[in-house]
Amino acid sequence: MTFKSLQQPRFKQLKTLRAIAIGLAIGFAAPAFADNLPEVQRLIKQGQYPQALEKVDAYLSNKPKDAQGRFLKGLIYTEMNKPAEAIAVFTKLTEDYPELPEPYNNLAVLYAQQKQYDKARTALEMAIRTHPSYAIAYENLGDVYAKMASQAYDKALQLDNANATTQNKLALIRDLITTSGKGNVKPTATAPATTAASPAVAAKPVTTTVAPTASTVTSAQASASTTPAKVAEAKPATAVAPTPTPAPAKADGASEDVAKVIAAWANAWSRKDVKSYLAAYASDFNTPKGMPRKAWEAEREDRIAGKPGKISVTYDEPQISINGDTATAKFRQLYKAPGLTSSTTKTLVLVRSGSKWLIKEENSR
C-alpha cells in the first residue's frame, strides 16, 4: 500500500457505506445497553430490517433513552429508505447527545441524499466541532462541499447536470460502538487507519488520534489483519512511509497478551466452558463481597453451565493499560442470555503470573 494509493480514495469522491469505529468520547458517553443489540446489528447485516426494527423497538421500550439502540434504529430506517424517520431519530439523538459526532454525520448523509447540502454541511460542521479529529466527517464535509460546488456551478453555467453529480456517496456510519463478536474479525476503523498511514505532511511527529481503536487489538485475527496496530504514544511518521504494517511497539506485547486473555475468557463464558472460564481467574481473585472462593465458583458454575439456552458475551475494544505486572482493562460488556440482556462497563485488573495474565479483580458498573 503506497502513500498515493492511500490518499487517492480520500480525494476521489466515491465512498461506499462502511462501518466505522467509534470516536474517543462515545465509549463513555453512551449509556449502558443490553446484549441483544448485537443481534440487531446482525439482523441489519443480513438485511433483515423489519426484524431488526422489531428487536430494537422492543429493546428501546425498556430503554427509551439508549443512544446505541436509537442509533441502530436510525440506521435501520436509513436502510429501509425511510429518510424522514431516520432524520427524526438522528436529530433527536443530536439533541440528547450533542457530544456524539456519529448522529450528526449520519444526519448529514441523509440530508445530502436529499440534496439538502446546506443542512448536511451544518450537521457535519457540528460533528467536527464536537470531534475535531473526526476524519469521516471531514471526508464527508469535503464531499458536501464538492456537491455544493457542483450545484453552484450548475446554476452558474446552466448545466443540465443531474447525473454528473450523483457520483459520490457519503459515508454513513454504521456503528455507534464497535462490537467484536466471537470469532469476528473486527471492522476496525478504516478512516483512522488512513489517517495514520497518510503522512502527507513531511516528517512531523504524528500522534494517533483515535484512542480506543488505537489502544489495542482484541483478537488474534485482528492483530494479524493489515490494519496497523497503533499505539497511543507518539510515534514519528516519516514522509516516505508506505509500510503497511508497522511493527507493534514493545509495550504492545503485554497488552496484546492481556487482550488475548480477555478474548479467551469471554469466549469460554459464551461456550459455557466453566473450567476454562474459571481458569482465567487468579487464585487470589477478589471474590464479590469477599465470599469464599468455593462458593463463588459454585455460583459461577450454576449461572453459566446451569443456564438454559445460549449465552453470548461480547465486548467492545478494551482500553488496556499496563503498569509493570498489573494490567487494567476497561471495556463495555454485552451479555445476552434468554430472558436477560445487560450491558455493563467492566473493569478487569489482571496480574502477571509467570507468562500468564490472570484476573485479580472484576468490577462492573
Partner 1 sequence: MLGRKFILLGLASCLASGVLAKPSAIHLPAKKPLVQAVEKSNSKKSNLVKAATVAVPFAAVTTAKLASATPVSRLPATVSDSGPEAQLVTIFKEIEANRLNNALQLTEALLRQHPNYRLANLIKGDLLLARRQDIQTFGAMSGAPAEKVADLRAEAIVRLRGYREKPETNNVPRYLLQMQPDQRHAIVVDTKRSRLYLYENDLTNGGRPRFVADYYVTQGKLGAEKLSEGDKKTPIGVYHVTSSVPRQKLADLYGSGAFPINYPNEWDKRQGRNGSGIWLHGTPSNTFARPPKASEGCVVLTNQDLDAVAKSLQVGLTPVIISNSVEWLSFDDWAKERSELNKSIDTWRTDWESRDTERLLKHYSKRFKTSDQSLEQFAAQKKQVNASKEWIKVKTDNLSVFRNPGKEEVVVVTFDQDYRSNNLNNLMKKRQYWLREDGKWKIIYEGNA
Residues making contact with partner 1 (CB under 8 A): 10-11, 125, 128-129, 132-133, 135, 138-139, 141-142, 145-146, 148-153, 155-159, 195-196, 198-202, 204, 206-209, 237
In the bound state with partner 1, the residue whose beta carbon lies nearer, of 168 and 178, is: 168
Distance between CA atoms of residues 11 and 138, nearest Å: 11
Least distance from C-beta 133 to partner 1, angstroms? Answer: 4
Instruction: Give the DSSP H/E element, type plus range, for residue 168.
Output: none
In the bound state with partner 1, the residue whose beta carbon lies nearer, of 162 and 202, is: 202
Least distance from C-beta 137 to partner 1, angstroms? Answer: 9
Distance between CA atoms of residues 182 and 264, nearest Å: 9
- C-alpha pair distances (Å), 211 with each of 134, 177, 193, 344: 12, 14, 12, 20
Least distance from C-beta 228 to partner 1, angstroms? Answer: 13
- C-alpha pair distances (Å), 361 with each of 254, 275, 357: 18, 18, 12
Least distance from C-beta 125 to partner 1, angstroms? Answer: 6
Least distance from C-beta 28 to partner 1, angstroms? Answer: 16
Beta bridge partners of 347: 330, 363
In the bound state with partner 1, the residue whose beta carbon lies nearer, of 71 and 104, is: 104
Distance between CA atoms of residues 228 and 219, nearest Å: 14
Least distance from C-beta 211 to partner 1, angstroms? Answer: 9
Torsion of CA 282, 283, 284, 289, to 10 degrees: 90
C-alpha cell belonging to residue 255: 497488552
- C-alpha pair distances (Å), 246 with each of 5, 172, 253, 308: 17, 29, 14, 45
In the bound state with partner 1, the residue whose beta carbon lies nearer, of 139 and 256, is: 139
Least distance from C-beta 347 to partner 1, angstroms? Answer: 24
Distance between CA atoms of residues 348 and 329, nearest Å: 5
In the bound state with partner 1, the residue whose beta carbon lies nearer, of 14 and 324, is: 14
In the bound state with partner 1, the residue whose beta carbon lies nearer, of 208 and 216, is: 208
In the bound state with partner 1, the residue whose beta carbon lies nearer, of 122 and 347, is: 122
Beta bridge partners of 236: 205
